[in-house]
Amino acid sequence: MVTRHKARLGRVLQQAVVEVLTVKDGDKLARLASDLERRVAFLVGREREALSTLRRLWPAADVLIADLQHEVTIAAEHELDLVLTVINRRARDLGLDALPSVPQPEPDEWTAKAAVMFPRRCYPGPASWADHQHLLSPEEREQWRKLVEARQEGGRTLPILAEYWADSERSVLEIVDLVEMETGQRDVELLVEHFRLLARMGLVELADR
């Protein structure tokens, strides 16, 4: 597991270096660095979680698992530092003393809603939409159908992936970020509406914080 993780991480960082060496804009370089740090943090978090599942096979392996999780974290930090060094060197080549700050977009209506919605699924896995959609009004069903069909991709897969992260601890906005890390696709409106309708059908509990 650790070896495969390191290989996967190596491919991600290698591709980043290739991109870095072709970037000629400081803002784009800063965004690349920021996105890379997010991506590496996501991969490390997923691998640490995957390693923790080894306890099901070997309950007495706590020390070994902790060592492997530490190795994964330290290896990722080391490799990321090397790539960030390349990025900073590239910034100097572009005549920059430092990377510019990455501007944060102003939150729109959907982002604001997603930030305060905390869903918790009531079932272990994704619920069957087909078996429960009769609980929605005809208008709601039609609205959802149009929303999904308006997407060229991700309309059906993103909502399913999002449900796995619904543990009441993460906001819908945080779930949007995680699904984006998994798929490369970001759709705040779709996931806000998905969880709202799941709550209407009683398939998730939705807290507003």
- Residue 207 to residue 117: CA distance in whole angstroms: 6
**pLDDT at residue 128, rounded to an integer:** 84
Query: Could you report the per-residue pLDDT of 78-131, keeping only the tens digit for each?
Result: 999 999 999 999 999 999 998 998 888 788 999 999 999 999 998 887 878 888
Query: How much is the mean pLDDT over the chain?
Result: 93
**pLDDT at residue 208, rounded to an integer:** 74
Query: Could you report the per-residue pLDDT of 129-139, keeping only the tens digit for each?
Result: 888 999 999 99
More confident residue, 107 or 77: 77
Spell 117-137 as b/e; 16+ CB within 10 A means b: bbbebeeeebbebeeeeeebe
Place 180 in a pLDDT band, splitting at 50, 70 and 90: very high
Q: Give me the mean pLDDT over the 144-165 stretch.
A: 92
Query: Could you report the per-residue pLDDT of 18-35, keeping only the tens digit for each?
Result: 999 999 999 999 999 999
CA-to-CA dists, residue 40 to 37, 76, 160, 182, 208, angstroms: 5, 7, 23, 12, 30
**pLDDT at residue 93, rounded to an integer:** 92
Domain range summary for the chain, segments of one domain joined by +: 2-93, 109-208
